[in-house]
Structure 1
Amino acid sequence: MPEIVQSLEAHQLLNELTTTAGREDPYSRYARLREISPIVRAPDGALVVTTYADCGTVLRDARFRKLPPDLLAFVGVATWRDHPALRQLFTSMLMLDPPDHTRLRRLVSSAFTPRRVEALRPAIERMVDELLADLDGEHDFVASFAFPLPVNVIGELLGVPAADRPRFQLLVRDWTQILEVLTPEVLSRADPAAATIRDYLADLLDERRRHPADDLLSALVQAQAADDRLTDDEVVANAALLFAAGFETTTNLLANGLAALLEHPDQARLLAERPDLARSGVEELLRFDSPVQLSPRIVAEPIELAGVTVAPGERVVAYLGAGNHDPARFAQPDQLQLDRADNAPLSFGGGIHYCLGAPLARLEAQIALPALLRRFPKLAPAGPARRRESLSLKGFTTLPVLAA
């Protein structure tokens, strides 16, 4: 029977992924990891899987559970409840298993059905047109388009006032750094950011209790009134999750997608000329450079993974970006092919934790990217781009472009 590999080269590759060079090009390192073994033990003891099939198993099999917060003790965070950033994360449905996950997800799932999302198409098209009208000349695509579009879409859906939305970009970025390597320095930025988000949303939810509106925040307040199991912490934490996730990953999808298209001008022309490729094209951009690269779990029952029996208590990390480039699943995985058939990227997760906002993120990208390329057929880079200092959430802080 195969064994779990623990090698110096695998450790070096995993360490490289935390460097600037590794974040710029994780995919060649994923490929080498997969060649060494489909399952390797990381320096911190976690098991890393890199094939499409094994990542899918980790995402969908109920024997893999979300990491309990008590595990944070292994990185020296024994008092996680005292940290607003951690408390907010681990109170949200993102980090919960059934039955709490089921209860909380049910409250908001109706807002993200394909039919409800499709009804937002005219509003999204108007927002895209307005943003494109101001994009002539040299711009940072992240600041001018990739952030404003999704933050305004999710802001409208939730009921966050337009004037307040811009301030959350840096707040959410600081908060979500806890999804990377957790250090005192990261927490020193994440905690005040999470506390600011919490206080703002708590005040806004109080306002919705006094003056309900036709938005998701009002729906959360009404659900709390009808369900005494829904605590104030849960309402605020899940409002924060919905707002942050509603723009953070979509911002990265738009910026990663445009960067890939600028590197492949033939594919950019194809998307501009063929509107019918919007759906398959966005799936391919999600696969090619996924906004979410990692998904950690803990094993609850013995399970075979990559031909190895994995014991309860083991931490496992599914490298979704690696699975999306697995040649056993995708022919020529390192080529961008917007008309790729039978494409099912792992980028939105899977199983009960499949991303609630996936239909909305897809729709925004399907509308925005073809419109951008049609409006500016000579769109080009205007200077060096800057990647985020993170791997779990992969994206750009700046992406200078010349729109002409």
Structure 2
Amino acid sequence: MDASAMLDRLAAPETRANPFPLYEQVRELGSVLPVADTLVLVTGYAAADRVLRDRGFGVLDREVGAAMFGDEPQPRSWELFGRSILRNNPPVHTRLRGPIASVFTPRRIAALEPAIERAVGRLLTAMAESGREGVPVDFMDRFAFPLPVGVICELLGVPDEDRYRFRRPAHELTRVLEFMSVDEDMSSADLAAQELSGYFADLVTERRARPQEDLIGALVRLRDEDPEQAIGDAELIANLVLLLVAGFETTTNLLGNGLALLGEHPDVRAALADRTLPVADFVEEVLRYDSPIQLTSRIALRDGLSVDGVPVPRFGEVLVLIGAANRDPARYREPQRFDPWRAGNGSLSFGSGIHFCVGAMLARLEAAVAFSRLLDRFPAPTLAPGAIRHDRLLFRGYGELPVTVS
């Protein structure tokens, strides 16, 4: 099979369900693989890390997109992300990320731990009531979604009564980021972009009228105090939508993927339950072995760039297969084996370089508290039939994951 055929297979349903065999076939052809004159696949950890850190490679922002594709109107969902830190390069990225990082601080995140503990306790109690006498409980619906959405909404300042309305539109919006064929219908993503941006526009207006001590309030103050340097209104709304979506979509998948692995590895589950395995090490290995984010891409912003000797022309694309890099045998011993006791199991699941995920610390904290308290309450959760993976490649996780917790 040649490289172009492998690229076609990346979007196939069977690959979305289990991409790892295809990753290994790609790796056999090379850790850095030219597919076409303007496209390179990267499966090697070291090469992936270098690309993500190299300022010569950037994201497909509006300026780069206009140079590559002209001034054709873009879907609303793409335009929304195009105003966020996700789809901007310096100097715009630097200007946008600064205010967000200034309020998305380690101190603010650490202060959320008691609230996370309380939320986990409430959700586990509800799971115990629903799962009495061995009745299977959908872990995704009853725990993996409500925990991170509640936490990110607490941080942002979204009212309690609104917190569970976002699952559908957020899931639809992220379709625009997926690796899929160009002719797929994005109308549901555009409608989700309209719904979410409208919601946060109203919330920003409300914060200006009645300030509060939350992340939205802090960003609104920064915007109003220094309108020349801070985030503009449209940018503010776009980044609030991004923080909401990224704040629970990836963590939801991390929790589901982790529970599935606990069900498959009773020795790991027992070691976590008796505290002989640090929960942080387990979380890091889940991130490496079954990353919630499987790929990303970068565009060459100038001529003369290359990846491990493979030239990438200006506006050429590098598709970084994070899920493959996280299983690179040049970086990890026995990478196809789930081993939370392995030394140095850090991964690229939160990215690298200037686009490193601003919420990485929060996701790790939520997962550590969740799995510790879960196994305190239910030392032997058991997977039940009926697990369903999402039909996604970039965002890898479960739609349904039944479990018995008695």
> Which bracket does the TM-score occupy, shorter chain normalised?
over 0.9
From 16, 21, 29, the equivalent of 1:28 is 21
Task: Select between 119-128 and 305-314 the one with higher mean Cα deviation.
Answer: 305-314
Residue 317 of structure 1 corresponds to: 319
Amino acid at match of 1:199: G
Match of 1:37 in 2: 30
Give a deviation string over 1:316-360, Cα, whole Å, max 9, x none.
Answer: 111111000000000011111112211220000011110000000
Question: Quick one: structure 1 residues 354 and 249, their matched pair in 2 at CA, closer, same or farther if it must change by over 3 Å?
Answer: same
Which residue of structure 2 lines up, in the alignment, with residue 98 of structure 1? Answer: 90
* SS at structure 2 position matched to 1:134: helix
- Following superposition, the deviation at residue 274 of structure 1 comes to 1.5
Contact 2:287/2:349, CA 8 A, preserved across alignment: yes
The CA deviation string for residues 172-216 of structure 1, in whole angstroms up to 9 with x for no partner, is: 110010011264543111011110001111001100000000101
Gaps of 5+ in 1: 1-7
* Residue pairs, 1:48-197, within 5 angstroms: 48-69=41-62, 71=65, 78-80=72-74, 83-136=75-128, 137=131, 138-180=136-178, 181=180, 183=182, 185-197=184-196
- Give the match's secondary structure for 1:91: coil
> After alignment, is 8-17 or 99-108 more displaced?
8-17
**Structure 1 Cα separation of the partners of residues 400 and 296 of structure 2:** 25
Three-state SS of the structure 2 residue aligned to 1:297 is strand
Amino acid at match of 2:149: V
| CA offsets 1:36-66 (integer angstroms, 9 cap, x no match) | 1222244795211000011101111111111
Q: State how far apart, in whole Å, the 1-side matches of 2:375 and 2:16 are.
A: 26
Give RMSD over aligned pairs: 2.0
Residue 68 of structure 1 and its aligned partner are, at CA, apart by: 2.8
Task: Tell me if structure 2 keeps the 8 A contact 1:38–1:306.
Answer: no
How far apart in 1 are the matches of 2:141 and 2:164? 10
- Report if aligned partners of 1:177, 1:190 keep a CA contact under 8 Å in 2: yes
Q: Distance in 2 between matches of 1:201 and 1:166?
A: 15
Match of 1:236 in 2: 237
Shift of 1:164: 0.7
Question: For the structure 1 residues 321 and 75, does the alpha-carbon distance in structure 2 shift closer, same or farther, using more than 3 Å as the test?
Answer: farther
Contact 2:34/2:310 (<8 A) preserved:
no
Kindly, what percent of the aligned residue pairs are identical?
Answer: 45
Provide the secondary structure at the position in 2 that maps to 1:167.
coil
Mapping of residues 219-368 of structure 1, within 5 Å: 219-229=218-228, 230-274=231-275, 277-301=278-302, 302-368=304-370
Question: Aligned AA for 2:361?
Answer: P
1:58-84 alpha-carbon deviations (Å, 9 max, x no partner): 11111111113463898999211xx32
Cα 1:247/1:394, change in 2 over 3 Å: same
- Residue 210 of structure 2: aligned partner: 211
TM-score by length of 2: 0.92
Q: Is the 8 A contact 1:150 1:364 kept in 2?
A: yes
Cα deviation, residue 161, structure 1: 0.8
Residues 378-397 of structure 1: matches in 2 within 5 Å?
378-397=380-399
Unmatched segments (≥5 aa) in structure 2: none
Range 10-19 or range 359-368, more displaced: 10-19
How far apart are residue 371 of structure 1 and its match?
1.7
> Would the aligned equivalents of 2:256 and 2:401 in 1 still touch at CA under 8 Å?
yes
Shift, 1:129, TM fit = 0.8
Paired residue type of 2:291? S
SS state at 2:186 partner: helix
Q: CA deviation at 1:373?
A: 2.2
